[in-house]
A and B are shown apart, each in its own frame.
Chain A
Amino acid sequence: MSMDDLYHEIILDHYKSPRHRASELEGAQVSVHHSNPLCGDELDLRLRVADGAIEDLAFDGDGCSISMASASAMGQAVVGRELGDAEDLAEAFRLMMHGEGHKREDDLADGIAFEGVAKFPVRVKCALLGWMALLDAIESYRGGDGRGSRDD
């Protein structure tokens, strides 16, 4: 178990050059705020959904390299996916972080670099922060969408 398991090159790359990081997202229908009460990491996530799929997303926040890099890699992995598919991918990532299996490795793309974080239990929550925000954002979107449908 070395520092390179935790701070994989790909993770440091996402940390230094984050993708999908912005404080605004044009046309976003949903915005959620998540924090890690243990260490104070904060993350905002905005989603724009079209035809039942994530057309684009933007995250912003203040957190450690693991939490910010994971959100960046997540953005790459889920943009273009249907909501249900993105949820399934989030579950695959969660299982990997808890050392409970490897599913959809190719779909996780750079997310696979976070595998080593599972060996550092106190940092697992950091890696999951963006993904948990994604699940929450999808649920919020569906809630809003559901009410809209009833109005129709």
Chain B
Amino acid sequence: MDATMIRKDFPTLERHVHGRPLVYLDSAATSQKPRAVLEAMQRYYEDANANVHRGVHALAEEATELYEGARARIARFVGADPRGIVFTKNATEAFNILAYSYARHRLGPGDVLLATEMEHHANLVPWQLAQAEAGFDLRYVPVTPGGELDLEAFEAEVATGRVALFAVTAMSNVVGTINPVADLAAAVKAANRDALVVVDGAQSVPHLPTDLVALGADMLCFSGHKMLGPTGVGVLAGDPEILEAMPPFLGGGEMIANVTLEGATFNEVPYKFEAGTPPVAEVVGLGAAVDYLERLGMAEVRAHEVALLEAVLPALEGIDGVSVHGPTDPARRGAAVSFAIEGLHPHDIGTIMDREGVAVRAGHHCAKPLVRKLGSVATTRASFYLYNTLEEIPALVDAVETTKRFFDR
């Protein structure tokens, strides 16, 4: 895989900011988009724009084919049944469907919903809202100072046999940790056959080969915009039988089988969870993104990022006063690299680095409990993707050095 060639597919990467070539290291927040995705969306609007599943005319049929074709390819990309692919507006909405239509109905007093301290707010707050209504216990697997799950504490929680839903991220958006999801899922199921395993794939699906069955996940939530696709579309991928047994989330058009003034019966999955006109162009764009990733090969994408990590981790650690959060072994982590510069606040670091053309994220990354656990209120995060090159790492190091000098004066 040649990242230098790949970069030519991404118009934004040709940009300069503050007079310098852009070094985009914020892909964990959102990725840049290749022309293939932008063109697929443009083509859809120019050639086939129509509402889906509703018309008998040619354009309506073509739009439906494009929409459902993308669903099939996205399903294959994560090893899911197309009937179990629900399009949402983002990963957050996918979690909210599960909190509202599963946790609120299926869990109650005496049940434990086990999450972890590593989670993004999207995989925390919906459960908290459901807990307030359903009265189950919400418990968390602690995170070690090294940014990994405390597996002993996990085993103790699971051993109670009360865990009815386990929610875990496959890859931390802050410290990059890759969790042993398949092992964790197996342990949860061994203690309680009926437990639901919900996996946050927002960071893992864009960066790692993903297979729902191999993960042991009943449900996988991810977003389109972090994997080369557009904003406005996310995915809830899961077991269609479990989805079928869940009550609807949003009501409206498309999700019904029949409606009278007295009530309604509901469409089959996945349509039951896709009320209203869906984000057709965005789904078409996400389909093109998946095609792009498959052409490169996810194993190749991962190998490229491991090579970047092997260079960037020692480069950052080698700077006086800089420490990297999370696992040090590239094999155990993804390419979201949070670091600290002694005595400096991430907000200040991010501002100075931006002036050097290096785009990083500063803040709590929507994972306040985790960042607290790391002993901080914020981190600076450089996150890499398939279009980043080894040549960009010296630019990152220079920007960090410049930042240190600026505040040392």
Q: Which of A44-52, A59-67, A93-101 contacts B (4 or more CB under 8 A)?
A: A59-67
The contact string, 1 if C-beta is below 8 Å from chain A, for chain B 175-190, is 0000000000000000
Binds A, one of B106-114, B269-277, B347-355: B347-355
Give residues of chain A (1-60) contacting chain B, Cβ–Cβ below 8 Å. 3, 6-7, 12, 38-42
Tell me whether B377 and A40 are in contact (CB under 8 A).
yes
Q: Interface with A: B207-215, B292-300, B316-324, B363-371, which one?
A: B363-371
Check: B407 CB closer than 8 A to any chain A CB.
yes
B352 pairs with A39, CB closer than 8 A = no
Distance in Å: Cβ of B357 to nearest Cβ of chain A: 14
Residue B362 interfacial (CB < 8 Å): yes
- From B345, B355, B363, contact of A38 by CB (8 A): B363
Contact A39/B363 with A7-B406, A63-B345, A64-B345 known, Cβ cut-off 8 Å: yes
From B347, B377, B406, A66 is in contact (CB under 8 Å) with B347
Q: Are A123 and B351 in contact (CB under 8 A)?
A: yes
- The A124-149 residues at the B interface (CB cut-off 8 A) are 126
B378 contacts partner chain A, Cβ-Cβ < 8 Å: yes
Give every chain B residue within 8 A of A67 (Cβ-Cβ): 347
B362 & A39 in contact (Cβ 8 Å cutoff): yes
Complex: A38 Cα to B347 Cα, angstroms: 10
Interchain CB contact under 8 A, A6 and B351: yes
User: When A62-B377, A65-B345 are in contact, do A40 and B352 touch as well, CB less than 8 Å?
Assistant: no
What residues on B are CB-neighbors of A12 within 8 Å?
407, 409
B348's partner among A38, A40, A65 (CB-CB below 8 A) is A65
Kindly provide the distance from the CB of B370 to the nearest chain A CB, expressed in whole angstroms. 12
Bound-state CA distance A123–B345 (Å) is 13
Chain A nearest Cβ from B263, distance in angstroms:
41
Which residues of A have CB within 8 Å of B409?
Answer: 12
Complex: how many Å from CA A67 to CA B409?
A: 20
Q: A3 and B406: CB pair below 8 A?
A: yes
Of the candidates A3, A7, A41, A64, the one having the most CB atoms from chain B within 10 angstroms of its own CB is A64
Q: Please report the C-alpha to C-alpha distance between residue A63 and residue B378 in the assembled complex, in whole angstroms.
A: 9
- Interchain nearest-CB distance for B342 vs A (Å): 14
Which residues of the other chain, B, contact A42 by a CB distance below 8 angstroms?
A: 377
Q: Do A39 and B347 form a contact, CB below 8 Å, given A3-B352, A3-B355, A63-B377?
A: yes
C-alpha spacing A39/B360, complex, angstroms: 13
- Chain A contacts for B378, CB-based, 8 A: 39-41
Q: Closest chain A residue to B352 by CB distance?
A: A3
Instruction: Flag if B406 contacts A40 (CB, 8 Å).
Output: no
Measured between beta carbons, the chain A residues less than 8 angstroms from B352 are 3
Q: Which residues of A contact B371 (CB under 8 A)?
A: 40
Task: Name the distance in Å between A62's Cβ and chain B's nearest Cβ.
Answer: 5
- Residues of B near A41 (CB, < 8 A) are 347, 377-378
Closest to A9 in B: B409
Enumerate chain A residues within 8 angstroms of B362, measured Cβ to Cβ: 39
CB of B139, distance to nearest CB on chain A (Å): 24
B347 adjacent to A126 (CB under 8 Å): yes
Q: How far is the CA of A126 from the CA of B350 in the complex (A)?
A: 14
Distance between Cα atoms of A34 and B50 in the complex (Å): 49
How close is B28's CB to chain A, nearest CB, in angstroms?
Answer: 16
Q: CA–CA, A6 to B407, complex, Å? A: 13
Which of B347, B348, B352, B406 has its CB near the most chain A CB atoms (within 10 A)? Answer: B347
Shortest distance in angstroms between A6's beta carbon and chain B's nearest beta carbon? Answer: 7
Q: Closest residue of chain A to B18, judged by CB?
A: A1
- A3 CB contacts on chain B under 8 angstroms: 352, 355, 406
A39 contacts B364, CB within 8 Å? yes
How many Å lie between the Cα of A41 and that of B371 in the bound state?
12
Q: Contact mask A60-81 → B, CB, 8 Å, 1/0? A: 0011111100000000000000
A123:B407 contact, CB within 8 angstroms: no
Contacts of B346 in A (CB 8 A): 39, 64
B118-166 interface (Cβ within 8 A of A): none
Q: Which partner residue on chain A sits nearest B349 by CB separation?
A: A64
What is the CA–CA distance of A38 and B368 in the complex, to the nearest angstrom? Answer: 11
Listed residue (A3, A12, A39, A41) with the most chain B CB atoms within 10 angstroms of its CB: A39
CA distance A126 to B345 in the complex (A): 12
Whose C-beta in chain A lies nearest to the C-beta of B371?
A40
CB distance B355 to A40 under 8 Å? Answer: no
Q: Are A40 and B363 in contact (CB under 8 A)?
A: yes
Looking at the assembled complex, report how far the CB atom of B387 sits from the nearest CB atom of chain A, in whole angstroms. Answer: 25
Interface string of B200-219 (1 = CB under 8 A from A): 00000000000000000000
CA distance A63 to B377 in the complex (A): 8
A-B contact pairs, 19 of them (CB 8 A): A3-B352, A3-B406, A7-B348, A12-B407, A39-B346, A39-B347, A39-B362, A39-B363, A39-B364, A39-B378, A40-B363, A40-B368, A63-B377, A64-B346, A64-B347, A64-B348, A65-B347, A67-B347, A123-B347
- Not counting A7-B406, A65-B407, a sample of 12 additional A-B residue pairs whose C-beta atoms are within 8 angstroms of each other reads A12-B407, A38-B363, A40-B364, A40-B371, A40-B377, A62-B377, A63-B377, A64-B346, A64-B347, A67-B347, A123-B351, A126-B347
A-B pairs, top 9 by smallest CB distance, nearest first, are A64-B347, A64-B345, A40-B364, A40-B377, A39-B363, A40-B378, A62-B377, A65-B348, A64-B348
